[in-house]
Amino acid sequence: MAQELSEIFYSLLLTSGIGMVLALARMAYKSKCKSFKCCGCEIVRDVAGEEALDMQQQRAQQEMSQSGREPESPSSTRV
């Protein structure tokens, strides 16, 4: 019985940890910060490029909802 409870506890701990890491990654993506430093690791992002890609995707979704057709793939659209 005690072994089953410890397995459940470790499974809960692992899934909670993974969920927290994924939530932090999602928040970091939405924040549009240009650089980020944590634990000696530095990440520098191309925020302007990401914003342009997001705008392309939004336009494609709007066109699809207005015309009722499939959007073009991002690789075939021009910037």
Instruction: Read off the pLDDT of residues 38-78 as tens digits, 9 standing for 90 and up.
Output: 788 887 877 777 778 888 888 888 888 887 665 555 555 55
The range of the structural domain enclosing residue 78 comes to 32-79
Residues 56, 18, single domain; the answer is no
The pLDDT assigned to 5 comes to: 79
Residue written as token pair 């000696």: 40
pLDDT of residue 69: 60
3-state secondary structure 9-65: HHHHHHHHHHHHHHHHHHHHHHHCCCEEEECCEEEECCHHHHHHHHHHHHHHHHHHH
Q: What token pair was written down for 6?
A: 């410890």
pLDDT given for residue 79 in this prediction: 47
Contact (Cβ atoms closer than 8 angstroms) between residue 77 and residue 60 = yes
Residues 22, 53, single domain; the answer is: no
Residues 27 and 53 in one domain: no
Same domain, 36 and 20: no
